[in-house]
Amino acid sequence: MKVLVADELSPRGIETLRKAAGLTVDVKLGLKPAELKSLIGDYQALAVRSATKVTADILEAARELKVIGRAGVGVDNIDVEAATRRSVIVMNTPGGNSMAVAELTLAMLLALPRQLVQAATSTKSGKWEKKRFAAGHELFQKTVGILGLGNIGSLVAQRCLAFGMTVLVYDPHPSEAARKLGLSVQFVSLEECVRRADFLTIHVPANDKTRNLVNASLFAQMKKGAYLVNCARGGIVDEAALATALKDGTLAGAAMDVFATEPVPSEHPLLALDNFLPTPHLGASTEEGQLACANQLAEQLVEFLQRGVVRNAVNAPPAKG
């Protein structure tokens, strides 16, 4: 069995794959779509993160491919429907980087109302603008609305409760893991969640149902001066509508780690706003998170290729033949 690693994984994950009996592992990073298409026909397994796009066109050339492993949760860079049609298992690694994303979310929730980035930039430039940044806000006794109570949303809810916040949740199908945590949260409608929240944070997957879920209509329902955080996926927030809401004062601030187009174009209107905090898709980028995801993915691929064991599949392809 041949495994192609197309995105950077931790050395320990690569080592796990290479030590497995019967597997040959090639690491080829930064492949252009045409290069990946020309190579993929010889491989039974493909390991990726978020950079490599596994399109229907590439899958057409994947004659021997049996499984695609994503080191992370989101699989929006993989055409899952096309993979399913070709009987290719697509598996992810839920939970491996959940803590990393949850902690970045909390960092943004703390930084926004205290204007920490702006204050740091000002101070480093030689200024001492204490009065300018004196009117910050606390998380304590505020209301946070969480869209999506999966692995990451649950961790965020736990930490917000520890800060003394009221936690509202919109999720028609909360994960079993979330239910087992026994969190003291209030399940409400999307409209009520948005209307009551001082802070709104997004933790839903990117799909047709969530595309532009947070749009001008929802911004109009939010409290004036509320804050928005998105560390989930690009495309869930209508970015043009967000820019308008930040400019007209509907929102006091917003922070996003993910964008509809990445890298973000330098002329993007959000980047010109002082009350907008962007990061370059760093959610899962901790040493601990990357190590956990790579190890988990390597173990799952070995189990599948050696013994046919399927773990964390996001599709259920029909049997071949």
pLDDT for 319 beyond 70: no
Classify 60 as helix, strand or coil: helix
Q: Which of 49, 70, 196, 281 is catalytic?
A: 281
Select the highest-mean-pLDDT range: 6-10, 147-151, 200-204.
200-204
Mean pLDDT across 257-268: 95
The full set of domains in the chain, from first to last, is 2-96+287-307 (3.40.50.720), 98-278 (3.40.50.720)
What pTM, to 2 d.p., does this model score?
A: 0.85
Active site residue 262: yes
**What sign does the dihedral 124-125-131-132 (CA atoms) show?**
negative
The Cα–Cα gap between 236 and 228 comes to 12
Beta-strand pair 199-202/186-187: unpaired
Active site residue 159: no
Q: Which of 81, 129, 262, 288 is catalytic?
A: 262
CB 227 within 8 A of CB 112: yes
Instruction: To the nearest 10°, report the CA torsion of 163, 168, 172, 173.
Output: 10
Classify 299 as helix, strand or coil: helix
Active site residue 281: yes
Classify 161 as helix, strand or coil: helix
Per-residue pLDDT band at 310 (split at 50, 70, 90): very high
Q: Which of 49, 159, 203, 233 is catalytic?
A: 233
| Tens of pLDDT, residues 22-45 | 999 999 999 999 999 999 999 999
The Cα–Cα gap between 118 and 168 comes to 29
